[in-house]
Amino acid sequence: MKVKLLVVQFEAIAGDIEKNILKIQELLEKSNYSSADLIVLPELWTIGWDSPNFNKSSEPIYKSKAYNFLKEIAKKYSANVFGGSAVLRKDGEKDRNTCLVFDRKGELISTYDKFHLFSHRGQSEGSFLEEGDSPVIVKTDIGKIGVSICYDIRFPEMFRLYAFNEVDIIINMAAWPKAFTDEYVTLAKARAIENQTIVVSSCLTGKINESFDFSGNSMAIDYKGKIIKELKEEEAVLYAELDIEEMHQYRKQLPILKDTKRSYQILEK
C-alpha cells in the first residue's frame, strides 16, 4: 500500500484562528491536490506558540472552530486528518494541547492530548495546560498511526511502545524552535530508525510576535531514517508517497524489534 500524504507547513498568526484557517485553505488549494490518504497539520496552528494566551483561546472540543474546520477538510479531501493541535477542553476538564483526528467521512475518531509538556528555556506550557493521560494509537484504513506532539519526540520510550504495538506510521506535530532545528531532524530520524517505522512531521515556520522563530523542516522519513521529502522554511504543502508494504518487508528481513527486550534490569557491581 502506498499512502498519499499532504503535510501543511505555514507561519501562524498569533491568536487569530480565522486568519490561520484561511491560510491553510489557500495553501491546500494552491497545492492542486484534490484528495489524499493522510493530511497532517502543525502543533498549535490555531494561534501559534503563545503560551500566555493559551487559555484565552481555549474552546470546548465539539464547539471549537478547529473541530468544524478539520471536519470539513477531511470530507473535502476524503482524507484521514491528524489536525495538528489546538488548546481545547472537554467537559469539566482543564485546557489541554489537543490533536483531533478525523476519518475520511469527517467523523472524529480519536483525540490525543500532549503527554510531555515543555516548560523550559523561558517557556511555560505546563503552567497553563494539563498534560495528557496516555499515548494514543489510531486505527485507520491506511494502518495504525501513533500520535505525538513536539516535545514528545525527545522521549524514545513512548515511541518504542508504539513500535511494540506495530504502528505503521508515527506522526509528530510541532512548533519547534529554529535554534534547535538540527536536534529536531536528528530526533525524527532516530525515532524512525530505531522503531523501523515511517515518521511524518509537520512544524510551524516563521515567527510569532517577532520574538520566536520556528524551525519549519517538516518531513516524511522512511523506516531507515532516509528523508523521503522535506520542506525548509517556506510556507507550503509537502506531498509524499509512503510505501507501507515495503516497510513491512524490511521488518521481516531485519526483525530488530523481535530481538528487543521489553524491559532491562541493570546490575550494579
Positions marked active-site: 43, 114, 150
Cα distance between the two ends of the chain? 50
Type of residue found at 104? R
CB atoms within 10 A of CB 111: 19
Query: For residue 252, how many other CB atoms are within 10 A of its CB?
Result: 8
SS3 content of the chain, % helix, strand, coil (to 5): 30, 30, 40
Q: Which three cell numbers stand for residue 96?
A: 489541554
Residue 128: which of 52, 15, 59 has the closest Cα?
A: 52
Q: How do strand 169-174 and strand 198-203 relate by DSSP bridges?
A: parallel
Cell of 164: 511494540
CA–CA distance, 258 with 12 (Å, rounded to integer): 42
Length of the chain measured in residues: 269
Residues 173/43, Cβ–Cβ less than 8 Å: yes
Can you tell me whether residue 171 is helix, strand or coil? Answer: strand
